[in-house]
Homo-oligomer: A and B are copies of this chain.
Amino acid sequence: MVIEIGKHFDLLPPLCKGMKIVLIADIALKKLYAEKLAQHLNALLIYIPSGEKAKTREIKQQIEDQLFKAGCGRDTVILAMGGGATTDVVGFVAATYLRGVPLILIPTTLLAMVDAAIGGKTGINTEFGKNMLGSIYFPKTIVFDYEFLDSLPEVERMNGMSEILKMGLIANPELLKGVDIERAAKTKMAIVEQDPYEKGLRRILNFGHTVAHALERLSNYTIPHGQAVAIGCVVESYLSLSLGYLSRKDFDQIETFFPIYRLPASYKRKAFLQAMTADKKNKGGQVRFVLIDQIGRAMPFDGEYCRPVSDKELEGTLSYMEKRYG
């Protein structure tokens, strides 16, 4: 995984040299970027739907069949241009096409730059949940072209900001001092490189997400990811406080980093607890949380980097959440 920063028009030709090129792009980028780039690179161009609608078995199969029909062999490089949903599904295609072909990611949202495109997680959804199928597959290169961010909607900016702040809380307090996209991406990369298959350390990236995923599920995925993560980070910091790990002083500061959003209208404590037990990192049915003992440091818990928390231990934290965000 190498990040290259600059104009994608200039960076890509040398990266793809001598290979057959396929550009798979979010259809929303057609007019502004994708057509021009495909022409510039003389690439086969495939469009996929915007957002989560692209993350299905059907779209994966459609892409694969287009690659087969075009006779794409192992000398093909696949370029994924779009947000996190695009890099997720296209990354999964690249991971399994002929058992893996080279992949270059061109993330076009802040969230994709600092999170989805970094770390090799690829995946699609099924009727049973999000990212239920996928693999860990690393791109050769990730191209950062900040021009894409000029037209980024506010909700998208906030999705990325929440993840940057999360990485500040668990690993790198510098990230809490001002937006630094490259530093955020490299913070995540350093964690992933130490534990690509999430046997331990990588779990800290789930900080805030046990709560966030449950909120997303409860809202039927209508709450923006960045809002859910912002709430999750503060709530899981409160949990760290209530369990005696985090100081009140640090917690009070953490509260100030995040805007206050509203819980989904459908929020009910019992349903929320149930939604949390479906979390992927659970073991034996108990909900496990990543916790911090100071700003910038997730707790190791003997290499597990998370610990089970009982419903009883959660009570005060849920009351806090309901009061602050209800």
Q: Which residues of A contact B (CB under 8 A)?
A: 57, 61, 64-65, 68-69, 73-75, 92, 95-100, 121-123, 126, 128-129, 131-136, 197, 280-284
Contact = CB atoms under 8 A, between A and B. Distances in A.
Contacts of A74: 280-281
A57 B282 CA distance: 29
Contacts of A123: 99
- Which label, helix, strand, loop or mixed, suits the secondary structure of the A interface? mixed
A157 B64 CA distance: 35
Contacts of A136: 99-100
Nearest to A75: B283
Pairs A-B, 6 closest by C-beta atoms: A68-B128, A99-B134, A96-B133, A96-B135, A99-B135, A75-B283
B126 A99 contact: no
A143 to B, nearest CB: 23
B98 A96 contact: no
A57 to B, nearest CB: 7
What number of copies of this chain does the assembly contain? 2
A97 B57 CA distance: 13
B197 A100 contact: yes
A33 B92 CA distance: 35
23 contacts: A64-B133, A65-B128, A68-B128, A68-B129, A68-B132, A73-B282, A74-B280, A75-B284, A92-B96, A95-B135, A96-B96, A96-B134, A96-B135, A97-B132, A97-B133, A98-B133, A98-B280, A99-B121, A99-B122, A99-B134, A99-B135, A99-B136, A100-B197
B280 A100 contact: no
A123 B122 CA distance: 18
Given A73-B280, A283-B75, A100 B68 contact: no
A118 to B, nearest CB: 15
B99 A68 contact: no
Contact of A132 (B98, B131, B133, B135): B98
Residue from the set A126, A133, A280 with the largest chain B CB neighbour count within 10 Å: A133
A99 B64 contact: no
A135 B65 CA distance: 17
A214 B133 CA distance: 33
Contacts of A121: 99
A284 B18 CA distance: 10
Given A68-B129, A74-B281, A98-B132, 6 more contacts: A64-B126, A96-B134, A96-B135, A98-B280, A100-B136, A100-B197
A215 B56 CA distance: 37
A134 B100 CA distance: 8
Given A100-B136, A135-B99, A135-B100, A126 B68 contact: yes
Contacts of A122: 99
A211 to B, nearest CB: 19
Nearest to A129: B68
A128 B59 CA distance: 18
Nearest to A18: B284
